[in-house]
């Protein structure tokens, strides 16, 4: 009777262990995010957080990475990681995380809404980017080759030029003959 009860408890622990560890990781990440993030006041639907404590956010990301490994099909860990990346203004990673959350729970409109907020931020960054063409500005620049001795290798100054190497090989062959 005792052996049967022990087997049932072991099986239950084996089945619930990953879920309990996932819940612990999410809870710890949430507490660290409370320390590491600051939300604008008043908190509105289109508000995005700002980073306050980078170390707390780094630890939260570690817990969220562990949660993603334990339950990769669950969207909440991806959403929380997206909020951290948004607070850091890392819009590309935030978009990836919110996209992953939306892909795992397409019926939840919150994930699509938050991804839309990130797309809006990315659009603003693009609008504020310099308009000058990089190719046009580089086409007018003057590029100078490095000065060196005649026959020196301009790409690798420590290496002798090919003509110098060939001359050394010829003189070595002449000495050997």
* pLDDT above 70 (res 9): yes
Quote the mean pLDDT of the chain: 81
Q: Is the pTM of this model over 0.95?
A: no
Tokens of 117: 């907020």
For 143-171, how does the pLDDT look when each residue is reduced to its tens digit (9 = 90+)? Answer: 665 655 555 555 555 555 555 555 554 55
The pLDDT score that the predictor gives to residue 41 is 87
* pLDDT above 80 (res 27): yes
The pLDDT score that the predictor gives to residue 6 is 75
* pLDDT above 90 (res 128): no
User: Between 2-36 and 76-87, two packed helices, what is the crossing angle to 10 degrees?
Assistant: 20
Domains and CATH numbers, the chain: 16-128 (1.25.40.10)
Closest CA to 56 of 36, 41, 81, 73: 36
For 44-71, how does the pLDDT look when each residue is reduced to its tens digit (9 = 90+)? Answer: 878 889 999 999 999 999 999 999 999 9
The pLDDT score that the predictor gives to residue 138 is 66
DSSP, res 95 = H
For 65-99, how does the pLDDT look when each residue is reduced to its tens digit (9 = 90+)? Answer: 999 999 999 999 999 999 999 999 999 999 999 99
């Amino acid at each position: 009777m005792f052996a049967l009860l022990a087997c049932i408890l072991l099986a239950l622990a084996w089945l619930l262990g990953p879920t309990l560890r996932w819940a612990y990781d999410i809870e710890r990440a949430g507490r660290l995010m409370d320390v590491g993030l600051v939300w604008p006041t008043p908190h509105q639907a289109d508000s995005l957080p700002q980073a306050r404590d980078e170390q707390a956010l780094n630890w939260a990301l570690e817990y969220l990475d562990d949660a993603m490994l334990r339950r990769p099909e669950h969207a909440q860990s991806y959403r929380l990681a997206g909020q951290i990346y948004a607070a850091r203004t890392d819009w590309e990673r935030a978009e990836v995380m919110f996209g992953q959350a939306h892909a795992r729970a397409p019926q939840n409109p919150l994930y699509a809404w938050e991804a839309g907020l990130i797309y809006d931020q990315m659009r603003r960054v693009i609008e504020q980017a310099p308009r000058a063409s990089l190719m046009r500005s580089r086409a007018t620049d003057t590029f100078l080759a490095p000065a060196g001795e005649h026959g020196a290798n301009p790409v690798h100054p420590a290496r002798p030029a090919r003509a110098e190497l060939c001359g050394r090989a010829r003189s070595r062959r002449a000495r050997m003959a």
